[in-house]
Chains A and B, each alone.
Chain A
Amino acid sequence: MAREIDRQIIGDLRDNGIDFVTSVPCKQLAGVIELVDQTDGILHVPCNKEDEGMGLCAGAYMGGMRPLIMMQNTALGVTLNSLATLIQFYQIPLPMLISYRGEVGEPVACQVEMALHTKALLAQFHIPTYHFHKAEDVAELPGILQHTQMCSKPTAILTDASFWGSAK
Protein backbone atom coordinates (compact mmCIF):
# COMPACT_ATOMS: atom_id res chain seq x y z
CA MET A 1 0.00 0.00 0.00
CA ALA A 2 1.51 3.29 -1.10
CA ARG A 3 1.95 5.90 1.63
CA GLU A 4 2.64 9.61 1.87
CA ILE A 5 6.42 9.06 1.67
CA ASP A 6 6.03 7.03 -1.52
CA ARG A 7 3.94 9.81 -3.06
CA GLN A 8 6.55 12.36 -2.12
CA ILE A 9 9.37 10.30 -3.67
CA ILE A 10 7.47 9.74 -6.91
CA GLY A 11 6.55 13.43 -7.02
CA ASP A 12 10.23 14.35 -6.65
CA LEU A 13 11.18 11.96 -9.44
CA ARG A 14 8.60 13.49 -11.77
CA ASP A 15 9.51 17.04 -10.84
CA ASN A 16 13.12 16.30 -11.66
CA GLY A 17 12.51 14.80 -15.06
CA ILE A 18 12.81 11.11 -14.26
CA ASP A 19 10.68 9.43 -16.92
CA PHE A 20 12.06 5.88 -17.06
CA VAL A 21 12.22 3.52 -14.09
CA THR A 22 13.26 -0.09 -13.90
CA SER A 23 13.08 -2.18 -10.77
CA VAL A 24 13.42 -5.48 -9.01
CA PRO A 25 11.17 -5.38 -5.95
CA CYS A 26 12.08 -5.18 -2.27
CA LYS A 27 9.50 -5.18 0.49
CA GLN A 28 10.66 -1.70 1.52
CA LEU A 29 10.19 -0.43 -2.04
CA ALA A 30 6.77 -2.01 -2.56
CA GLY A 31 4.91 1.28 -2.12
CA VAL A 32 7.05 3.33 -4.56
CA ILE A 33 7.00 0.53 -7.09
CA GLU A 34 3.22 0.26 -6.87
CA LEU A 35 2.93 4.02 -7.39
CA VAL A 36 5.46 4.35 -10.17
CA ASP A 37 3.52 1.77 -12.10
CA GLN A 38 0.47 4.04 -12.01
CA THR A 39 2.28 7.31 -12.66
CA ASP A 40 1.65 9.09 -15.94
CA GLY A 41 4.82 10.40 -17.44
CA ILE A 42 7.04 7.68 -15.99
CA LEU A 43 7.56 4.50 -17.98
CA HIS A 44 8.12 1.60 -15.58
CA VAL A 45 9.76 -1.47 -17.10
CA PRO A 46 10.43 -4.18 -14.52
CA CYS A 47 13.63 -6.13 -15.13
CA ASN A 48 14.61 -9.62 -14.03
CA LYS A 49 18.06 -8.82 -12.74
CA GLU A 50 19.50 -5.47 -11.84
CA ASP A 51 22.39 -5.57 -14.30
CA GLU A 52 19.83 -6.10 -17.04
CA GLY A 53 18.03 -3.06 -15.62
CA MET A 54 21.18 -0.99 -15.96
CA GLY A 55 21.31 -1.97 -19.63
CA LEU A 56 17.73 -0.79 -20.08
CA CYS A 57 18.58 2.47 -18.31
CA ALA A 58 21.66 3.06 -20.49
CA GLY A 59 19.57 2.55 -23.62
CA ALA A 60 16.75 4.77 -22.40
CA TYR A 61 19.26 7.49 -21.55
CA MET A 62 20.79 7.38 -25.01
CA GLY A 63 17.28 7.65 -26.41
CA GLY A 64 16.77 10.91 -24.53
CA MET A 65 15.06 9.74 -21.34
CA ARG A 66 16.10 10.19 -17.70
CA PRO A 67 16.31 6.78 -16.06
CA LEU A 68 16.37 5.62 -12.44
CA ILE A 69 16.71 2.12 -11.01
CA MET A 70 15.00 0.87 -7.85
CA MET A 71 16.71 -2.09 -6.24
CA GLN A 72 17.80 -3.74 -3.02
CA ASN A 73 21.36 -3.32 -1.71
CA THR A 74 21.90 -7.06 -2.22
CA ALA A 75 21.80 -6.29 -5.95
CA LEU A 76 25.11 -4.45 -5.73
CA GLY A 77 26.84 -7.78 -6.13
CA VAL A 78 25.31 -8.39 -9.55
CA THR A 79 25.67 -4.84 -10.83
CA LEU A 80 29.30 -3.90 -10.10
CA ASN A 81 30.57 -4.84 -13.55
CA SER A 82 27.72 -2.98 -15.26
CA LEU A 83 28.30 0.05 -13.05
CA ALA A 84 32.01 0.17 -13.91
CA THR A 85 32.06 -0.85 -17.57
CA LEU A 86 28.77 0.66 -18.74
CA ILE A 87 27.37 3.36 -16.48
CA GLN A 88 30.68 4.87 -15.36
CA PHE A 89 32.75 4.13 -18.47
CA TYR A 90 30.22 5.81 -20.79
CA GLN A 91 29.33 8.46 -18.17
CA ILE A 92 25.60 7.84 -17.85
CA PRO A 93 23.72 9.61 -15.05
CA LEU A 94 21.89 6.95 -13.05
CA PRO A 95 20.32 7.55 -9.65
CA MET A 96 19.80 4.28 -7.80
CA LEU A 97 17.04 4.25 -5.19
CA ILE A 98 18.26 1.42 -2.99
CA SER A 99 16.54 -0.26 -0.08
CA TYR A 100 19.27 -0.64 2.52
CA ARG A 101 18.35 -3.99 3.99
CA GLY A 102 20.21 -5.46 6.92
CA GLU A 103 20.32 -2.33 9.06
CA VAL A 104 18.75 -1.87 12.53
CA GLY A 105 15.14 -3.05 12.42
CA GLU A 106 15.93 -5.84 9.95
CA PRO A 107 14.12 -9.10 10.73
CA VAL A 108 16.13 -11.33 8.34
CA ALA A 109 19.66 -12.17 9.52
CA CYS A 110 20.94 -13.02 6.05
CA GLN A 111 20.29 -9.44 4.89
CA VAL A 112 22.92 -8.19 7.34
CA GLU A 113 25.65 -9.90 5.34
CA MET A 114 25.38 -7.60 2.29
CA ALA A 115 24.59 -4.60 4.49
CA LEU A 116 28.08 -5.02 5.92
CA HIS A 117 29.60 -4.57 2.46
CA THR A 118 27.22 -2.02 0.97
CA LYS A 119 28.93 1.25 1.84
CA ALA A 120 32.40 -0.21 1.39
CA LEU A 121 31.57 -1.38 -2.13
CA LEU A 122 29.97 1.93 -3.04
CA ALA A 123 33.01 3.79 -1.69
CA GLN A 124 35.41 1.45 -3.52
CA PHE A 125 33.51 2.18 -6.75
CA HIS A 126 33.60 5.95 -6.12
CA ILE A 127 29.82 6.16 -6.24
CA PRO A 128 28.38 9.25 -4.52
CA THR A 129 26.30 7.77 -1.71
CA TYR A 130 23.48 9.29 0.36
CA HIS A 131 21.92 7.56 3.34
CA PHE A 132 18.30 8.28 4.29
CA HIS A 133 17.92 7.28 7.95
CA LYS A 134 15.16 9.61 9.17
CA ALA A 135 11.96 10.55 7.38
CA GLU A 136 13.07 14.16 6.92
CA ASP A 137 16.20 13.03 5.00
CA VAL A 138 13.96 12.64 1.95
CA ALA A 139 14.20 16.41 1.54
CA GLU A 140 17.63 15.81 -0.02
CA LEU A 141 16.20 13.80 -2.91
CA PRO A 142 15.62 16.63 -5.43
CA GLY A 143 19.18 17.90 -4.90
CA ILE A 144 20.62 14.41 -5.33
CA LEU A 145 18.69 13.89 -8.57
CA GLN A 146 19.99 17.19 -9.96
CA HIS A 147 23.52 16.40 -8.79
CA THR A 148 23.37 13.05 -10.60
CA GLN A 149 22.53 14.73 -13.92
CA MET A 150 25.15 17.41 -13.34
CA CYS A 151 28.01 14.96 -12.81
CA SER A 152 26.79 12.15 -15.13
CA LYS A 153 27.54 9.43 -12.61
CA PRO A 154 25.66 6.65 -10.92
CA THR A 155 24.59 7.74 -7.43
CA ALA A 156 23.26 5.62 -4.58
CA ILE A 157 20.38 6.63 -2.31
CA LEU A 158 20.35 4.15 0.56
CA THR A 159 17.03 4.00 2.39
CA ASP A 160 17.14 1.99 5.59
CA ALA A 161 14.47 0.43 7.83
CA SER A 162 14.49 3.40 10.22
CA PHE A 163 13.78 5.73 7.30
CA TRP A 164 10.85 3.70 6.05
CA GLY A 165 9.67 3.07 9.64
CA SER A 166 9.70 6.73 10.67
CA ALA A 167 8.08 7.99 7.47
CA LYS A 168 4.34 8.46 7.09
Chain B
Amino acid sequence: MIRYELLDLLKPTLTEELVVCNIGSPSQELHALDDQPSNFYMLGTMGLASSIGLGLAMATDKKVIAIDGDGSVLTNLGTLATIGNNPCDNFILLIVDNGSYGSTGDQPTYTGGRTSLAKVAEACGCENVVECSAEETPEALRAALDANRMTVIVSKCESGNVKCPVITMNPITIRERFMREVAR
Protein backbone atom coordinates (compact mmCIF):
# COMPACT_ATOMS: atom_id res chain seq x y z
CA MET B 1 0.00 0.00 0.00
CA ILE B 2 1.37 3.42 -0.97
CA ARG B 3 0.89 6.78 0.79
CA TYR B 4 -2.09 7.82 -1.35
CA GLU B 5 -4.00 4.66 -0.48
CA LEU B 6 -3.13 5.11 3.19
CA LEU B 7 -4.38 8.71 3.19
CA ASP B 8 -7.56 7.54 1.48
CA LEU B 9 -8.04 4.93 4.22
CA LEU B 10 -7.49 7.60 6.89
CA LYS B 11 -10.13 9.96 5.49
CA PRO B 12 -12.95 8.83 7.81
CA THR B 13 -10.65 9.25 10.84
CA LEU B 14 -9.42 12.73 9.89
CA THR B 15 -12.50 14.77 10.66
CA GLU B 16 -12.32 16.96 13.75
CA GLU B 17 -8.57 16.83 14.14
CA LEU B 18 -6.08 19.48 13.10
CA VAL B 19 -3.67 18.07 10.54
CA VAL B 20 -0.22 19.42 9.72
CA CYS B 21 0.94 17.75 6.52
CA ASN B 22 4.41 17.20 5.14
CA ILE B 23 5.78 18.99 2.05
CA GLY B 24 5.35 17.75 -1.50
CA SER B 25 3.38 14.68 -2.54
CA PRO B 26 1.90 14.05 0.94
CA SER B 27 0.25 17.49 1.02
CA GLN B 28 -0.74 17.32 -2.65
CA GLU B 29 -2.33 13.90 -2.19
CA LEU B 30 -4.15 14.89 1.00
CA HIS B 31 -5.33 18.09 -0.66
CA ALA B 32 -6.67 16.17 -3.65
CA LEU B 33 -8.30 13.48 -1.51
CA ASP B 34 -9.75 15.48 1.33
CA ASP B 35 -9.15 19.23 1.36
CA GLN B 36 -10.39 20.75 4.63
CA PRO B 37 -9.73 24.01 6.48
CA SER B 38 -8.37 21.88 9.31
CA ASN B 39 -5.45 20.84 7.08
CA PHE B 40 -2.27 22.89 7.19
CA TYR B 41 -0.29 22.18 4.04
CA MET B 42 3.43 22.70 4.08
CA LEU B 43 4.48 24.08 0.73
CA GLY B 44 8.16 24.04 1.65
CA THR B 45 10.46 23.60 4.64
CA MET B 46 11.16 19.87 4.55
CA GLY B 47 11.55 18.49 8.07
CA LEU B 48 9.39 20.78 10.17
CA ALA B 49 5.93 19.16 10.07
CA SER B 50 6.50 17.39 13.39
CA SER B 51 7.82 20.60 15.00
CA ILE B 52 4.91 22.69 13.76
CA GLY B 53 2.54 19.99 14.99
CA LEU B 54 4.14 19.87 18.44
CA GLY B 55 4.20 23.67 18.79
CA LEU B 56 0.55 23.78 17.79
CA ALA B 57 -0.41 21.00 20.21
CA MET B 58 1.24 22.93 23.03
CA ALA B 59 -0.86 25.99 22.22
CA THR B 60 -4.26 24.37 21.72
CA ASP B 61 -6.40 21.76 23.46
CA LYS B 62 -7.59 20.38 20.13
CA LYS B 63 -6.11 17.16 18.78
CA VAL B 64 -3.23 17.63 16.41
CA ILE B 65 -1.95 15.05 13.95
CA ALA B 66 1.29 15.72 12.12
CA ILE B 67 1.51 13.59 8.98
CA ASP B 68 5.21 13.42 8.34
CA GLY B 69 7.62 11.37 6.24
CA ASP B 70 10.63 9.24 7.05
CA GLY B 71 12.98 11.45 5.04
CA SER B 72 11.69 14.56 6.74
CA VAL B 73 11.99 13.10 10.23
CA LEU B 74 15.52 11.96 9.43
CA THR B 75 16.49 15.49 8.40
CA ASN B 76 15.13 16.89 11.69
CA LEU B 77 15.95 13.95 13.94
CA GLY B 78 16.26 16.20 17.01
CA THR B 79 12.48 16.66 16.83
CA LEU B 80 11.98 13.21 18.36
CA ALA B 81 13.95 14.24 21.46
CA THR B 82 11.90 17.44 21.78
CA ILE B 83 8.68 15.45 21.37
CA GLY B 84 9.85 12.76 23.81
CA ASN B 85 10.69 15.31 26.47
CA ASN B 86 7.60 17.49 26.04
CA PRO B 87 4.73 15.03 25.92
CA CYS B 88 1.46 16.59 24.75
CA ASP B 89 -1.43 14.20 25.01
CA ASN B 90 -3.29 15.93 22.20
CA PHE B 91 -0.44 15.26 19.77
CA ILE B 92 0.02 12.37 17.37
CA LEU B 93 2.99 12.10 15.06
CA LEU B 94 2.12 9.84 12.15
CA ILE B 95 5.23 9.02 10.16
CA VAL B 96 4.47 7.66 6.71
CA ASP B 97 7.54 5.46 6.45
CA ASN B 98 7.85 4.47 2.82
CA GLY B 99 11.62 4.09 3.07
CA SER B 100 12.11 6.78 0.48
CA TYR B 101 12.11 10.42 -0.45
CA GLY B 102 8.81 10.05 -2.25
CA SER B 103 8.30 13.53 -3.61
CA THR B 104 11.65 13.68 -5.31
CA GLY B 105 11.43 10.35 -7.10
CA ASP B 106 11.51 7.62 -4.45
CA GLN B 107 15.21 7.72 -3.72
CA PRO B 108 15.84 5.37 -0.76
CA THR B 109 16.21 6.74 2.77
CA TYR B 110 18.05 4.93 5.53
CA THR B 111 14.78 3.71 7.09
CA GLY B 112 14.61 1.30 4.18
CA GLY B 113 18.02 0.11 5.35
CA ARG B 114 19.17 -0.41 8.91
CA THR B 115 17.45 2.50 10.64
CA SER B 116 14.31 2.12 12.75
CA LEU B 117 12.52 5.39 13.48
CA ALA B 118 10.34 3.59 16.03
CA LYS B 119 13.43 2.63 18.01
CA VAL B 120 14.89 6.12 17.66
CA ALA B 121 11.61 7.59 18.93
CA GLU B 122 11.64 5.23 21.90
CA ALA B 123 15.26 6.03 22.66
CA CYS B 124 14.35 9.72 22.49
CA GLY B 125 11.86 9.28 25.31
CA CYS B 126 8.59 8.88 23.39
CA GLU B 127 6.49 6.59 25.54
CA ASN B 128 3.85 5.38 23.11
CA VAL B 129 5.39 4.29 19.86
CA VAL B 130 3.50 2.04 17.49
CA GLU B 131 5.00 0.56 14.36
CA CYS B 132 2.41 -0.95 12.05
CA SER B 133 1.60 -1.72 8.47
CA ALA B 134 -0.26 0.80 6.32
CA GLU B 135 -3.32 -1.46 6.49
CA GLU B 136 -3.26 -1.38 10.31
CA THR B 137 -2.75 2.38 10.51
CA PRO B 138 -6.38 3.59 10.63
CA GLU B 139 -6.96 1.36 13.64
CA ALA B 140 -3.72 2.49 15.30
CA LEU B 141 -4.65 6.13 14.74
CA ARG B 142 -8.17 5.62 16.10
CA ALA B 143 -6.73 3.91 19.18
CA ALA B 144 -4.21 6.72 19.71
CA LEU B 145 -6.94 9.36 19.44
CA ASP B 146 -9.18 7.49 21.85
CA ALA B 147 -6.36 6.91 24.34
CA ASN B 148 -5.68 10.65 24.73
CA ARG B 149 -1.98 9.99 24.99
CA MET B 150 0.77 11.36 22.85
CA THR B 151 1.62 8.68 20.30
CA VAL B 152 4.16 8.24 17.56
CA ILE B 153 2.91 5.96 14.80
CA VAL B 154 5.39 4.64 12.27
CA SER B 155 3.32 3.42 9.35
CA LYS B 156 5.25 1.13 7.05
CA CYS B 157 4.18 1.81 3.47
CA GLU B 158 5.39 1.03 0.02
CA SER B 159 7.20 3.62 -2.00
CA GLY B 160 5.19 5.41 -4.64
CA ASN B 161 3.18 8.52 -5.36
CA VAL B 162 -0.01 9.42 -7.17
CA LYS B 163 0.24 12.43 -9.43
CA CYS B 164 -1.92 15.18 -7.93
CA PRO B 165 -2.05 18.88 -8.77
CA VAL B 166 0.40 21.24 -7.09
CA ILE B 167 -1.34 23.24 -4.36
CA THR B 168 -1.82 26.74 -5.69
CA MET B 169 -3.72 28.08 -2.67
CA ASN B 170 -2.10 31.20 -1.25
CA PRO B 171 -0.04 30.37 1.87
CA ILE B 172 -1.73 33.12 3.87
CA THR B 173 -5.11 31.66 2.93
CA ILE B 174 -3.96 28.21 4.05
CA ARG B 175 -2.75 29.64 7.35
CA GLU B 176 -5.72 31.91 8.02
CA ARG B 177 -8.40 29.33 7.31
CA PHE B 178 -6.43 26.84 9.41
CA MET B 179 -6.16 29.33 12.30
CA ARG B 180 -9.91 29.96 12.14
CA GLU B 181 -10.36 26.21 12.54
CA VAL B 182 -7.96 26.17 15.49
CA ALA B 183 -9.86 29.01 17.16
CA ARG B 184 -13.30 27.53 16.46
Binding site for B on A (CB under 8 A): 20, 43, 45-49, 51-65, 67, 81-82, 84-86, 89-92
**Shortest beta-carbon distance, A60 to chain B, in Å?**
4
State the CA gap A91–B172 with chains docked (Å): 7
What 0/1 readout, one digit per residue, does chain B (37-50) give for beta carbons within 8 Å of chain A? Answer: 00010111101111
Most buried by A among B49, B51, B55: B55
A57 touches B48 (CB 8 A): no
In the complex, B57 has a CB within 8 A of chain A: yes
Most buried by B among A48, A49, A56, A57: A56
Known: A45-B86, A62-B178, A91-B175. A86 touches B59 (CB 8 A): no
B51 touches A56 (CB 8 A): yes
CB contact between B78 and one of A47, A57, A58 (< 8 Å): that residue: A47
In the complex, B52 has a CB within 8 A of chain A: yes
CB contact between A63 and one of B59, B76, B78, B82 (< 8 Å): that residue: B59
Most buried by A among B59, B86, B171, B182: B59
B182 touches A64 (CB 8 A): yes
Binding site for A on B (CB under 8 A): 20, 40, 42-45, 47-60, 76, 78-79, 81-82, 86, 171-172, 174-175, 178-179, 182-183
CB contact between A56 and one of B44, B54, B179 (< 8 Å): that residue: B54
CB contact between B55 and one of A51, A56, A84 (< 8 Å): that residue: A56
Known: A20-B55, A20-B58. A59 touches B82 (CB 8 A): no
18 intermolecular pairs with C-beta atoms under 8 Å apart:
A20-B55, A47-B82, A52-B76, A53-B51, A55-B47, A55-B49, A56-B54, A59-B53, A60-B56, A63-B56, A63-B57, A63-B182, A64-B179, A64-B183, A86-B44, A86-B52, A90-B175, A91-B171
State the CA gap A5–B86 with chains docked (Å): 29
B76 touches A56 (CB 8 A): no
A64 touches B172 (CB 8 A): no
Residue in B closest to A86 when the chains form the complex, CB atoms:
B45
Known: A57-B55, A59-B57, A90-B172. A45 touches B82 (CB 8 A): yes
Contacts of B175 in A (CB 8 A): 62, 90-92
**Shortest beta-carbon distance, B89 to chain A, in Å?**
15
State the CA gap A67–B55 with chains docked (Å): 10
State the CA gap A62–B184 with chains docked (Å): 12
A65 touches B59 (CB 8 A): yes
Contacts of B54 in A (CB 8 A): 55-56, 59
Contacts of B182 in A (CB 8 A): 62-64
CB contact between A81 and one of B40, B45, B53, B58 (< 8 Å): that residue: B45
